[in-house]
Each structure stands twice: as structure tokens, then as C-alpha cells.
Structure 1
């Protein structure tokens, strides 16, 4: 295993090294770290409140273990969902994958090294969400030192099994899928697995949620915990291990969880030794297409420069697997997921919620919906990757007889188009499922369109100021830059002040507040558009 550890250290340094980062990028990381402090404190406050309230409600009936069960189920789901993208990117779609095949390493050693960075991303989530949750639960339950000792071990082992199971499934898919003839298409379809996985888990949970008598479960110890963790046995083992500390039952489940985690590592390396190279070698193939002049001539027609540029950008996004999963899937995941949840539960609490908006003060309704829109549209991957997506081919723009304003406008329209798709899907959910009154929907729709345009400009300005053009793999456009947080933070600060002022103002009535809000947004649009035009004049021909 010494070679595997050395390989892992090399790969981690290659991925996370700051050696080639500019001083501006390093300063950006520092600023992002400082901005994340208040967000981190807010997350801790939120977690503490939830666990405290749930413990106060469940502890009298002896079902406080449900808190840990829900926690481990949630983390298992998050780890599986996150691992799909990181495993595919690191194991198969990275540019350096095939270069390792010729080196004197076994498949399991390369797999071990390539697992380091994806695993570190899981431990980041593990530290932010699971670790403070376990600490807060221990505080509320008055647990002793033994709980924190076992809790730390469980925390360290929790990401292993979800990661291993996800990686093994993907290795089987990549081994037997006919990817040599359909390389890019397979990348896109496999990238959509995360989308299907999230929806599938929700369907399974909802289909099973109606079984059993809830009142009877509340009176039986661990009955509710068994229901919550029915599809995630390891979550049940972890919960019992930390709730029945000091008993033989708790010790048995703790040792069982540790044994399963260690066994998962061995299974991962064994399966990887047999199947990993076979899946990787399939990536090198390709499908040869013949040039048909007649078919080409049928599609050749004159059109405006702006439309041609827009179509080119859209095709690059939809035909490049990494861009498709990072931009299209990520942008549309929330609205599609929300619609499916409401369709699966037509009698749920969300259905018909829109009709209740008539009894709420109009100002609060429109400002609240505006705040949710800012959060939903604040991070737009299409905007903060507008320039960086071109990579080294960006410099072709400098030689083509196309005005800089049209190139930037085409990229801005693409970013806005992705926001528009999200707004359109949310509109369908609001009108058809939530039954939001038409007047409220119409005002929200207009405000959302303006907000989406501002969000697109903000992301484009940030990317134009610090583009990443020297990438060798499309993942580098998104990974490790944290650039998406910057426009969201700026928008949250500006729009938060606007919401606060209008909320505490003497303005009343939905039409009055909406009119003032739209006017303010139009002013902000004009200001951001002016700064974008100035930056295009100053930076467009000087980007290095």
C-alpha cells in the first residue's frame, strides 16, 4: 500500500496546490473564507435549534434516537448524491486518467489515489453538517465522554459506505456500457444519475411513509427509528450505537458498523482491481462519422451574428458533459425536484398553499417571494463560467470581426436563458400545483425576470474580471474556484438591504410595493449594465 499512499499524496497536491494560483485568486480564497464565517454561524444556529426542538419533543416518549436516525439518513443521501459527480469526474472524465495506465501501478492503487480528493469533499460536508449535529445532540442528551469518543469514530467512518456503494455501481455501469461509440452521450446520461437518484429516494420514502400506525410507533421504543432508517441499515446501526452506549446492544451495533466500513474498503479495492481499467479503456474509443455535404447544406442558412453566437454557446453547454451536468442539471434540479414532490403528494401541505396568500399582507407576500427568488437564482453556473468556458479558445474572439459587445451579450443571454427555464418551471408549479393567485404570480414573474437578468450580469462581471482560461479539464472551471458564492453574497447584501427598507417602510399594498421594487430593480439593472459595459471596454482585449 506504500505506492498507493504516495500516489494519493501526489494527486492531492496536483488538485489542491496553490503553486500556480495568482495573488488575486489567493486573495479571493481569503475573502470567501471570511464571508463564510457568518454563514457558518448561521448554519450552526439553525442546526442547534432543530436538534433542540426535536429532542424536547421526542425525549419524553423515548424516541430521541430518531434524531440521529434522520441525521444519518440525510448524510447518507447527501454523500451518495455528491459522490456520483465527484467519482465520475475523478475516476473517468479527468484528462490524466489514461496517462496513469502506462505507469507501474495496480488498478486498485490508482483508484485509491484518485479517491482522495472526492473523499476530502465528503469530509468537508461531514465536518460542516454531521460533526456539529453530533455535538449538539450530545449536549442536549447530557452524554459523557464515551459518547463523544464513539461519535468521533462514527463520524470518521460515515462517508465510507455511501462512497463505496456509489463508486461500485458506477464502475459496473462504466464497465458494461457501450461508451466507446457514445462517449459524450454516456457521460451526460451517467451524470444525470444524481438527478434520478435524488428523485428515486424521495419516491421510495413517500411510498413507504403511509404504512404503519404512527401513534403505535410513537409508543414503541425504536419503532419510529426503524421506519426512518428502513432503506439505510447503516444509519440504524450508527443510531443504536450512539443511543444505547454502555449496553451490549450498542456495542454490537458499533462493532458491526466498524466491520462493515472496513469491509466496504476491501470490497472497493477488490472491485476496482477487476473492473476499473476496463471502464477507463472504453473511454479512448470513438465513433467515426462520415461527412455528408447534402445534409450540411440543408442546415446552412444565414442568420444574425448574435443568434449564431447564442446557439454556439447553448450547443457547447448541452454537448459538453461537464458543462451539462454543472449548468443545466444544477440549475433545473430544484424546480424539477419540487414539482415531482408535489405531484407525488397531491394532498400534501404544499398543495393549495397559494390560495392562503390572499389572507397575508400583500407587501409581505411579494417581498418574501422576492427573497426566495434571490436565493434560487443567485448561483447561476452559466453566468460565472461565461468567459472561462472558452478556455484557451477565448483568444479566437480577438481575431474574428465580431464586436466585443455582441460576444458578451450572447453569453449574457445564455445565462439569462438558464434562469428563465428555472423561472418557467417554478411558474408552472405556482399556477398549477400551488394555485397561486394570478396577480401575485404575474408580479412575481416580472420581478423574477429582472432579478434573473441582474444575477446573470453579476456572475458575468465576476468571471470577466477573473476568468480561468488555462484549464485542461472542464471541471476546473467550477471546481475549487468558489466563484459562485461571490455574486450570491453581493446579491444577498444588496437585495437584503432593499427588502429590509421596503419591509419597514410605510408603503402598503401589493401593487405599490411591487411598483417600487420593480423601479429599484430597473435602476440596479442600469447600474450593473453600465459597469459591465465599462469592464468590457477595459478588460476584453487585455485578458491573459
Structure 2
């Protein structure tokens, strides 16, 4: 066991050591810590309002356990979502895996060492959401000391079950991926598993939720004690056990359910160790094998032809993002999650309730066109959010950046190919949302066309801004692709700039009475966005001149 702890400490030091971090990166961690304080206060008061309101409604009928049950269900889904990407990256796609395989460690020991960093991520999320939620519930229910003891135990074991279940499934699937001769395609297939799982979970919940049944049965269910939690936790027995143990901590049933929850977690964890011992190395060795190909010079010469430099550079960037597993999951999958979930919500929830997406078109026709176009653009800013392709444009090259210094390609061409690649990723989001808006929501053609056109300009500006920020403060000295995205403030900084700039423009036009009507508002927005686009190009060119050839000289 001591060898396992030493291995875990080594891997944690490798991941979080500040030894070779630049001053800007260290300041970024400090800024992130300071930013977390007001964010935590906001989360606390938001949870207090939600839990307090639900408790006042559900407590009189004895259904207060529903609050904890639904909270634990949401945490389970969230932990699975976070774990899929971190498990794939840490267990299979990190560059140091083959180095550890040669050391005298058992497979389960290396697997536990690789689990340390993902577990820390889960416990940080657990501390930010579940811990204050349990504390707030205790305050509203006036719980005794037994409740808080149980809460600490539940808090400790909650991340374990979703993580180990996800890891077992992934290890089982990766065990059979070594039958392929194409390593890159199999890694991409594994990355797609995360995307499919997220959408599948959402569809299952919506298929199992009928608005008609809910309306007929809710009146009866709400009158029965713990009936709500029994209905909503059919697929999550641990959430039911934990919630009942917390709402009845001083009863025999509460103690029994807590013990059952702990025993269930321990049993699954030992299955996790067994699965790791049997399956982990088989999946890792299968991925590291690759395929042996004989170089055919004649065939290669036939495929070589002269083309547009910008297009070829863009194609190279797209291939890197599609073929590198970490980049694929962090950029492509992350960019598609929001629009695909948007489609699922529309398709599976288009007929329920008084308000529906299907009624959005008639509502827009009757609303103020100026406020409609401004609201749609605000939605676009939210949908695009942080563009991971733009804020990693330069950093993705890593130590290979020096290749650009002697290749006969202009610096502006190299950078613009990265901007266009980031814009292409955003374009997928815009197309999907546009199709849903026109086909399902039946937004008027004129408003929809103006909205999509202005959204394309917004996307182009954000891509330039993200690429400029990454060129100004790149992270090239990484040993694992995950470092390009984790522990950097560039994503938050990019989002702040985007919200401040576009949010201010939308807010000003919303309140200025001088600009009314769809066409006048759209012309003003077009002029402003065009000027912003020109300004962003000027700033990018200046940063290219001052930083493109001196990046590697920075410490």
C-alpha cells in the first residue's frame, strides 16, 4: 500500500508542481483563487434561495427528502460528465503512461495513481456545490449533530460511485479497442463516447417524463411521504438511500440506509480495483500499439499537389483537432454539447406546458423587433461562450511551435489559418441552432437571417480575440495535452471580454430610445460589429509582429 501512496504523490506532484511555471501562470492561479471567493458567495446564496423555497413547499407533506434526492442525482450525472473526459485523458491519452508501465507496479496501483487528479477535480466540484447545499438544508431543517455527521460521510463517498462506475465501463470498452489497427480512430471513438453518453442521459430522462402523467399523478404523489423521492430515484438507488438517511438521521432506518450506502460504495470500489487489475493494461497496450505501414513513395508523390497555403494550413489545424483525442473532446465535443442538447430539449419537450419552443415564432411576430434581435444576439453570445479552439490556437502546437520559424509561410497566414479553424468550429454551433430556430421555432425569415448574419460577425470577432490572447500568453511547455486547457485563466479572460464588449453594446441599444425598429437597430449593430472586427484585426496584426517570432524566448 505504501508503494501506491508514493505513486499517487509522484503523479500529483507531476501534475500540480509550480517548479517550471511562468510568473503569469502563477499569477493566474492566484487570480483564480481570488475569483473563487465571490463566486462561492454567489453559489451559496443561490442554493439557499432554491433549497429554502423547496423546503417550505415540500416539508408539510413529508417530501423534503426530494430536495436531497434530486440534488444527489444531479451530482451523480455531473460527476459522470466530468469523469468521462478526465478518465480518458488521464488513464489512456497522457504521454507518461508507457513510462509507468515499465515500472514494478501492479495495474491497479498505476490506475489508482492515475485516478488521483480526476478525483481532486471531483472533490473540488463536490466542495463548491454539494457541501454548501447539505449545510443549507441542515439550517432550514434545523437538523441536529447527527445530520451533519452523516452529511460529512455522504459528502466523502458521493464522488466515488459515479467515478468508479464510469471508469469500469470505459476500461471494459477500451479493452476491445485494441483489435483495431488504427490508433487515432479508436481514440476518437473513445472520445465520442462522452458526447453520446451526455445526450443519451438527457433523452432517457425526457422519454421517462410525461407531462400528461405528471399532471394527473402529481396531486396524489405530493400527499404521500417520500413519494416524490421514490418516483425520481428509480435509476439512482444510492440517491434514495442517502437522502432518506439524511432526512431521518436519528432513526434505525436512517442508520441502516447510511450503512447500505457505504457498503454499496465499498463494494463498487473493490470491483473497480479488480477491473483495473484485469482490464487496464490491456486497453493501454492496445492503444499504444498502433499500426505498421510501409511507406509508398510513388503513392505519396501522386497525392502531393500544390494548393492554397491558407487552405492547407486550415486543413492541418482541423486534422490536429479531430485526430488528437484530448483536443477532440475538449474542443469538438465541448462545442457540440450545447447545440445538440438544444435540439434534444426542443424535440423531446416541444409540446409540453403553456410555453413551448414551437410557440416562439408567433411570439416573436407580436413582440418588439428591436428587443427580439437584441435578445437573440444575447443568446448567441451565451451559446458561443468560450471558444476552446481559439484560446488554444497557439498552445496546441506545444514544443513544435519552432517549426513555424523556418517554414516558408508568412506569420499572418499561419495565424489566420488558426482563426479560420476556430471559426469553423463555431460555425457548426451556429448552423445547428439556426436549423432548430427556422424549422422548429419557425422564427420569421427576416429576423432569423439578420440574427444569423450578425452572429457570424460576433463569432469571427471572438475567434480573433481568443487567438490574440493565446498568442500573447501561450502555453507551449506542456507534456500532456490537458495542460493546454486546465489551470489557465485565458478562458475566463476571453469570456469576460466577450460579455463586457457585446453585453455593453446590447444593453446600450436596448435602453437608447433613439434607435427603434428592426432595420435601424440591425444597421447600427452591423456598423458597430464591423468596426470591432477591423479593430480586432489591427490588434492581432500588432501582436503577430511583436510576439510571433519571440514566443520561445519567453520564460
Using structure 1 for the length normalisation, give the TM-score.
Answer: 0.95
> Equivalent residue for 1:235?
239
User: Which of the numbers 523, 526, 544 marks the counterpart of 1:536?
Assistant: 544
- Is contact 2:69-2:239 (8 Å) kept? yes
Tell me the alpha carbon deviations over residues 440-497 of structure 1, each in whole angstroms, 9 at most, x when there is no partner: 2122212211111111111111110111222222222222224211100121122232
Pairing 1:354–2:361 present:
yes
Change (3 A) 1:41 1:363: farther
Moved more, 208-217 or 396-405: 208-217
Q: TM-score, normalised by structure 2?
A: 0.94
Quote the Cα distance in structure 2 between the aligned partners of 1:52 and 1:504.
35
In the other structure, the counterpart of 1:471 is 478
Aligned length: 544
CA distance in 2, matches of 1:101, 1:432: 52
Which residue in 2 is equivalent to 1:511? Answer: 519
Q: Within 1, Cα distance between the matches of 2:125 and 2:237?
A: 21
User: 1:129: Cα distance to partner?
Assistant: 1.6
Say if 2:273 is the partner of 1:266. no
Counterpart contact for 2:52–2:140, Cα < 8 Å: yes
Q: What are the within-5 Å matches in structure 2 for residues 495-506 of structure 1? A: 495-506=502-513
CA contact (8 A) 1:179 1:186 kept: no
What is the Cα deviation at residue 263 of structure 1?
2.0
Q: Is the 8 A contact 1:378 1:455 kept in 2?
A: no
Alpha-carbon offset, residue 332 of structure 1:
1.0
- 1:119 and 1:34 mapped to 2: Cα distance? 23
**Match of 2:225, SS?**
coil
**Structure 1 residue 304 displacement after superposition:** 1.2
SS of equivalent residue, structure 2 residue 437? helix
Q: Could you tell me whether the CA contact under 8 Å between 1:75 and 1:130 is conserved in 2?
A: yes
Residue 123 of structure 1 aligns with which residue?
A: 123
Cα distance change on mapping 1:36 and 1:492 into 2, 3 Å = farther
Give unpaired runs (5+ residues) of structure 1: none
Per the TM alignment, residue 239 of structure 1 is displaced from its structure 2 partner at its CA by 1.0
Corresponding residue of 1:46: 46
Question: Is the CA contact (8 Å cut-off) linking 1:180 and 1:285 kept in structure 2?
Answer: no
> 1:179: how far off?
5.0
Question: What is aligned with 1:216?
Answer: 220
Q: Aligned-pair RMSD on alpha carbons?
A: 1.9
Cα deviation code 1:350-387 (max 9, x no counterpart): 33333322333333322222222212213111101111
Q: Which residue of 1 aligns with 2:387?
A: 380
The whole-number CA distance in structure 2 between the counterparts of 1:440 and 1:34 is: 42
Q: Which moved more, 1:429-438 or 1:456-465?
A: 429-438
CA distances 1:111-151 after superposition (whole Å, capped 9, x unpaired) = 11111100000111111221122222222222233222211
Q: Structure 1 residue 288: deviation in Å? A: 1.8
CA distances 1:283-334 after superposition (whole Å, capped 9, x unpaired):
2212122344565455433221111111111111112121111111111111
**Alpha carbons of structure 1 residues 359 and 36: separation in structure 2 relative to 1, 3 Å:** farther
Is the CA contact 2:405–2:549 (under 8 Å) kept in the aligned structure 1?
yes
| Contact preservation (8 Å) 2:199, 2:340 | no
Asked whether the 8 Å contact 1:384–1:462 carries over to 2, the reply is yes
| Counterpart-to-counterpart distance in 2, 1:503 and 1:497 | 10
- Superposed CA deviations along residues 401-460 of structure 1, whole A, max 9, x for unmatched, are 211111111111111111111111110111111222222212221221111111111111
DSSP-derived class of the 1:235 partner: helix
How do residues 266-415 of structure 1 correspond to structure 2 at under 5 angstroms?
Answer: 266-293=270-297, 295-348=299-352, 349-415=356-422
Cα separation, 2, equivalents of 1:454 and 1:119? 37
Aligned CA distance change for structure 1 residues 522 and 60 (closer, same or farther; 3 Å) = farther
Q: Deviations over 1:485-533 (max 9, x none)?
A: 1100121122232233222222332333333233222222222221111
Question: What secondary structure, in the 3-state scheme, does the structure 2 residue paired with 1:352 have?
Answer: helix
Mapping 1:141-156, distance limit 5 Å:
141-156=141-156
Matches within 5 A, 1:447-466: 447-466=454-473
- In 1, Cα distance between equivalents of 2:441 and 2:325: 34
2:207 corresponds in structure 1 to 207
Which segment is superposed worse, 56-65 or 483-492?
56-65
Runs of 4+ off more than 6 Å: none
> Partner of 2:482: helix, strand, or coil?
helix
Distance apart, 1:180 and its partner CA: 5.6
- Give the Å deviation of 1:537: 0.5
